[in-house]
Chain A
Amino acid sequence: MTGFSPGRTRLLRGMTGFSPGLTGLLHGMTGFLLRRAAGALVTLLAISVIIYAVFYIAPGDVAQITCGPRCSPAQVAQVSEQLRLDDPVYVRYRDFLQGIFAGRDYSTGTGTEHCAAPCLGLSYQSDQQVTQLILAKLPVTGSLALGAMVMWLILGVGTGVLSAWRRGRVTERVLTAVTLAGTATPVFVIGLLLMIVACGQLNWLPFPQYVPFTDDPQQWAWNLLLPWLSLALIEAAKYARLTRASMLETLADDHVRTFRAYGVGERSIIGKHALRGAFAPVIALSANDFGSMFGGAVLSETLFGLPGMGRELVHAVKVVDLPVVVGMVLVTGFFVVLANAVADVLYAVADRRVVLS
């Protein structure tokens, strides 16, 4: 049977072979999808409660902390008014939720400003709506995350397959050493070094600058190449280790012994049966990583000066702009939960035992 892409062969065979088609699979999965969506919603609510509790009901002078150390007493009073600190906790949380689901009105110095749902509050620094702020940064972080993920999946899974295939030989030892070094290098170190070498010394690549995809796709990719590469190199090491470990585990399974005992060649055993065992963990991990990227690209955004969500978050933390911080954390949590839910569904499509059990 064919090479290294069981996903594709599986889907193809889904049309003609023994494996049921995708439609047949999704049919009867409605219950599972609903359950999964409900679970995600509960997790998100729990996250919002915790975040709210940690950041807005913290001990100490909440208004002062919220407003930041540089606030004047008048500003502090205004914040106190805005947060309605005299109201009971549950009322405040309800308003917070209401803002997210239905929008709410804020009194500003001159009148009221309507903040449409999903409203995450107003920034204390710029008086901008946090939602708008985040939306403006989303494409940058999204571009970074998407490209990096594609690269790390190709690099990481490829390396993992190669080292599982050549196990016990020099190739594997070299790859193991390289991936180990990769996992031991912080992203900002490798990014820094790459930037210095590729942009500073050799002038191969431009110092990254964000160019929207819609403006110029080529420049978009060319500028993001370096950030992608540095993120992908680090992450790929992790994926290579994971892929290799899962494949080696599968290779020790009884069913692999069966196929060996039936004269099935090593190529098919590695590329089809063993790789299939690495599917689920790789999907799960990449979903989690992709979700985290929306907040977790902090380092590369800061390093390369890309105006994404991560850099905005660091800035907000430094100036103690609490609504922005809380909004960022919530949105990141949202993406992580969403990505995990998608991963679960993908996983269920790939392995129907999950649905059945």
Chain B
Amino acid sequence: MSPIPDKAHSLVHVTDLVVDFGETRAVDRLSFTLDRGAALGLVGESGSGKSTVASALLGLHRGTGANVGGEVRVGGIDVQEASGAELRRLRGGKAAMVFQDPLSSLDPYYAVGDQIAEVYRVHTGASRRAARARAVEVLDRVGIADAVRRARSRPHEFSGGMRQRALIAMALACEPELLIADEPTTALDVTVQAQILDLLHVLRAETGMGLLLVTHDVGVAAESVDDVLVMRYGRSVERGPVREVLGAPREAYTRELLGAVPRVDSPREASAPVRGDVVLEAVGLRREFGRGKRAFPAVDGVSLTVRRGETLGIVGESGSGKTTLGRMLVGLLDPSAGEIRHGGDPSPGGVRAGVQMVFQDPVSSLNPRRAVGESIADPLRARGEHDDAVVRARVRALMERVGLDPAYYGRYPHEFSGGQRQRVGIARALAAEPRVIVCDEPVSALDVTTQAQVTALLAELQEEHGLALVFIAHDLAVVRQVSDRVAVMRQGRIVEQGSVDEVYGAPRQAYTKQLLAAVPALDPEAAARRRTARGELAAA
């Protein structure tokens, strides 16, 4: 086919793309172009259709029952019209994709090197030996140490970050002109995320390939691309250079989105030290999992106090033991050693009404087969309140308080959005009239705008009831936003504890510094500074 000159210049040319899944329109008349060597970020909240666009670029909707309309050209190939063979050449050859979850994106049964070699052979017809050599070469290129040996490993023998590197290596194998990265760092810890973003940065500079980065995280986009396209409900909201869109957004939605993003460097009113009574105290908590030789401590010697009316933030990466700690604080898990005191009295163990929890996953934290009103009523009924009218009245009041329509008493969880379900969870915790609520990643499954609403609600409730909150999260910016004091956890221990201003403003521990340096910045210049700082920290 003879490519139309105008379209040949750009690497990706999307015109009036429409994708329908049955009745649902996921992408609605979207048009954009991406020049060779340029980097574009597709940014949006869940349901904005950004991942659908990424799949459409490789024709991955073909044969799935999705209805695709409009025109998509990648590297001069009309994806809609291309034959099966043409499409296969495009996929991985001209444009390669990196997926969100690096563990499930690799075949668990084959060596990583073999998987890369397979893709290389498909596109080049190289010999097995040459393909394997190429696999080692690209693995080495993405920073896998001892690539010759590690090429033989199966995916489960790699850490999360290494797996994502391996996927990027697979993408590089055939030297594509375009790299499509669909939430490449969402499943990773913040320090690993920074490494992967740095790697993408370096590779782009070296190879000159174009990058289409799909992300919900504005900070990640700011770190990595030149232009951003903000999407909502399958439509384009705003497009422009990163600096303009993020620095001076024209559209109301972009402003709302940016306003909701918590930052580690925004100005913040200094919080006055809270002088309330100690309501919850942990002394030398330790918890082991496994037995015998395999036993390892998930939490090891943690002591902390929580006062009335204050929020203690607990921040840490995956595997730091923060969830285990939270479960011990509410009595769902018995400590192997150490004790928990409530208002000065040692706890006999087990749960108690005064300490409640808000869970991370808004899906699994509500029984799908029970009306939400009944879930909220649980603590009341368990306490011995038998008068149905009293219970219902109280539940309705609670629902109203957390911003839910009391008429939804009899509705089931699947009828609610994630944010609404989290409100139900908060109402249920409140129903027990607790003194302390432990929130375990309460907003990490939510979109940023919803996140902001939920954290605001928690703050209001804290004010009203004089609640003490323990806010457990991996997101340093969220913790900074909501907490008075913060504890940084690593490998089951608290490495640094202090007021938010101390810990974020003048961190003492190298690990805390490393964490803070890894947080993506919204401002491209700050991002560049952070990148340099990371380099220095790594060198030190």
Instruction: In the complex, identify which listed stretch (B20-28, B34-42, B104-112, B236-244) lies at the interface while the others stay far away.
Output: B104-112
Closest residue on chain B to residue A256 by CB atoms: B107
Contact code string A243-269 (vs B, CB < 8 Å = 1, else 0):
000000000011101111111110010
Bitwise, A8-22 to B at CB < 8 A (1) or not (0) is: 000001000111100
* Chain B residues, Cβ within 8 Å of A261: 58, 60, 91-92, 96-97, 99
Measured between C-beta atoms, what is the minimum distance from B99 to chain A in Å? 6
A19-B152, A20-B152 as given contacts; A258 in contact with B132, CB under 8 Å:
no
Given contacts A17-B111, A17-B132, whether A264 and B119 have CB atoms under 8 Å apart is yes
- In the complex, which of the residues A13, A257, A258, A350 contacts B114, with contact meaning CB atoms closer than 8 Å? A13
Q: Please tell me if B178 contacts chain A, counting CB pairs below 8 Å.
A: no
Does any Cβ of B come within 8 Å of A352's Cβ?
yes
Bound Cα distance A253, B104 (Å): 7
Centre residue among A18, A19, A254, A356 by max chain B CB count within 10 A: A18
Q: Does A169 contact B (CB under 8 A)?
A: no
- Establish whether residues A262 and B91, one from each chain, have CB atoms under 8 Å apart when the complex forms: yes
Chain B residues positioned under 8 Å from A263 (CB to CB):
87-93, 119, 122-123
Interface residue from B113, B118, B151 paired with A1 (Cβ < 8 Å): B118
Cβ A17 vs Cβ B122 within 8 A: no
A258 to B122, CA, bound (A): 14
Q: Is B204 an interface residue (CB 8 A)?
A: no
Q: CA of A353 to CA of B158 in the docked complex: distance in angstroms?
A: 12
Chain A residues, Cβ within 8 Å of B123: 263
Report B175 CB to chain A, min CB distance, Å: 13
Is residue B154 contacting chain A, with contact meaning CB distance below 8 A? Answer: yes
Q: Are B107 and A255 in contact (CB under 8 A)?
A: yes
Residue interface bits B443-456, CB-to-A below 8 A is 1, else 0? 00000000000000
Residue from B89, B110, B156 whose CB has the most chain A CB atoms within 10 Å: B110
Q: How far is the CB of A15 from chain B (nearest CB, A)?
A: 12
B45-61 near A? 1/0 per residue, CB < 8 Å: 00000000000001010
For B120, the closest partner residue in chain A by CB is: A262
In the complex, residue of chain A having the shortest beta-carbon distance to the beta carbon of B119:
A262
Instruction: For the complex, give the distance between the alpha carbons of A117 and B92 in Å.
Output: 64
The bracket for how many chain A residues form the interface is: 20 to 34
**Cβ of B170: which chain A residues have Cβ within 8 Å of it?**
258, 262
Q: Per a CB cutoff under 8 Å, which of B87, B107, B154 touches A273? A: B107
Q: A276: CB under 8 A from chain B? A: yes
Q: Which of A300-357 contact B (CB under 8 A)?
A: 350-353, 356
B110 near A19 with CB under 8 A, answer yes
Question: Which of these, A18, A273, A277, contacts B152 with CB under 8 Å?
Answer: A18
Contacts of A253 in B (CB 8 A): 104
**A352 and B89 alpha carbons, distance in the complex (Å):** 33
Select one of B60, B101, B107, B111 contacting A19, CB under 8 A.
B111
Contacts of B117 in A (CB 8 A): 18
Among A257, A259, A265, A273, the most chain B Cβ lie within 10 Å of the Cβ of A259
In the bound complex, residues from chain A placing their C-beta under 8 Å from that of B132 are 17-18
CA distance A107 to B240 in the complex (A): 99
Minimum CB–CB distance for A275 against chain B, Å? 10
A255 touches B108 (CB 8 A): yes
Query: Is chain A's binding surface mostly helix, strand, loop or mixed?
Result: helix
Indicate whether B128 reaches chain A with its CB closer than 8 angstroms: yes
Instruction: Choose among A258, A277, A279, A353 the residue that contacts B154 (Cβ–Cβ < 8 A).
Output: A353
CB-based contact A17/B114 at 8 Å = yes
Query: In the complex, are the beta carbons of B88 and A255 less than 8 A apart?
Result: no
| Cross-chain contact B114 with A19 (CB below 8 angstroms) | yes
Question: Smallest CB-CB separation from A1: which chain B residue?
Answer: B118
In the complex, A352 Cα to B122 Cα: how many Å?
27
Choose among B106, B107, B109, B117 the residue with the greatest number of A CB atoms under 10 Å from its CB: B109
Cβ–Cβ < 8 Å partners of B99 in chain A = 254, 257-258, 261
Cα-based distance from A350 to B151 in the complex (angstroms): 18
We find that the number of chain B residues with CB closer than 8 angstroms to chain A is: 40
Task: Encode contact with A along B69-109: 1 for CB under 8 Å, 0 otherwise.
Answer: 00000000000000000011111110011010100111111
State how many angstroms separate the Cβ of A269 from the closest Cβ of chain B: 10
Nearest Cβ on chain A to B86's Cβ, whole angstroms: 10
The CA of A279 and the CA of B93, in the complex, are separated in Å by: 31
**Please, which residues of chain A bring their CB within 8 A of the CB of B513?**
none
If A18-B151, A19-B110, A264-B118 touch, whether A254 touches B93 (CB-CB below 8 Å) is no
The docked-state distance in angstroms from the alpha carbon of A261 to that of B112 is 17
User: CA separation between A13 and B117, bound complex, in Å?
Assistant: 13
Closest to A274 in B: B107
Contact A257 B60 (CB under 8 A): yes
The docked-state distance in angstroms from the alpha carbon of A351 to that of B109 is 7
Q: Are B113 and A18 in contact (CB under 8 A)?
A: yes
With contact pairs A257-B60, A263-B88, A273-B107 given, residues A353 and B156 touching in the complex (Cβ less than 8 Å):
yes
Contact B107 A276 (CB under 8 A): yes
Contact among A1, A257, A356 with B105 in the assembled complex (CB-CB below 8 Å): A257
Closest Cβ neighbor of A273 among chain B residues: B107
Residue of A nearest to B97 (CB): A261
The CA-CA distance from A258 to B116 in the complex, in Å, is 11
Q: Which residues of A contact B107 (CB under 8 A)?
A: 255, 258-259, 273, 276
Query: Do residues B154 and A265 form an inter-chain contact, with CB atoms below 8 A?
Result: no
Distance A170 CA – B112 CA, assembled complex (angstroms): 37
Q: Are A276 and B92 in contact (CB under 8 A)?
A: no
Evaluate contact between A353 and B93: CB separation under 8 angstroms: no
What B residues does A277 contact at CB under 8 A? Answer: 109
Q: Does residue B121 face the partner (Cβ distance < 8 Å to A)?
A: yes
Q: A18-B111, A255-B104, A257-B105 are in contact. Are A1 and B154 (CB under 8 A)?
A: no
**Residues of chain A with a CB closer than 8 A to B91's CB:** 260-263
- When A17-B111, A254-B105 are in contact, do A259 and B128 touch as well, CB less than 8 Å? no
Of all chain B residues, the one with the shortest Cβ separation from A255 is B107
Residues of A within 8 A of B151 (CB): 18
The answer to whether B114 touches A260 (Cβ under 8 A) is no
Tell me the residues in window 185-230 of chain A with beta carbons closer than 8 Å to chain B beta carbons. none
Q: Mark A265-291, 1 if CB is under 8 A from B, else 0.
A: 100100001001101000000000000
Contacts of A264 in B (CB 8 A): 88, 92, 118-119, 122
Closest to B94 in A: A263
Find B96's partner among A19, A260, A262 (CB 8 Å cutoff): A262
CB nearest to B135 among chain A residues:
A18
Q: Which residues of A contact B88 (CB under 8 A)?
A: 263-265
CB contacts (< 8 Å) of A351 on chain B: these are 108-109
Q: How far does the alpha carbon of A131 sit from the alpha carbon of B108 in the complex, in Å?
A: 46
Q: Which residue of A lies closest to B88 (CB)?
A: A263
CA distance A58 to B284 in the complex (A): 56
Shortest CB-to-CB span from A268 to chain B, Å, is 7
Contacts A17-B132, A263-B87, A263-B122; A258 near B111 (Cβ below 8 A):
no
Contact B104 A1 (CB under 8 A): no
B123 to chain A, nearest CB (A): 6
Find out whether the CB atom of B128 lies under 8 angstroms from the CB atom of A255. no
- Closest 9 pairs between A and B when the two form their complex, measured CB to CB: A262-B92, A263-B88, A263-B91, A254-B104, A18-B111, A18-B152, A18-B113, A263-B92, A255-B107
10 residue pairs bridging A and B, Cβ less than 8 Å apart: A18-B114, A18-B117, A18-B132, A18-B151, A18-B152, A255-B106, A260-B60, A262-B96, A350-B109, A351-B108
Q: Which residues of A contact B (CB under 8 A)?
A: 1, 13, 17-20, 253-255, 257-265, 268, 273, 276-277, 279, 350-353, 356
With contacts A19-B110, A268-B118 known, what are 5 further pairs, Cβ within 8 A? A17-B128, A18-B117, A19-B111, A255-B104, A352-B154
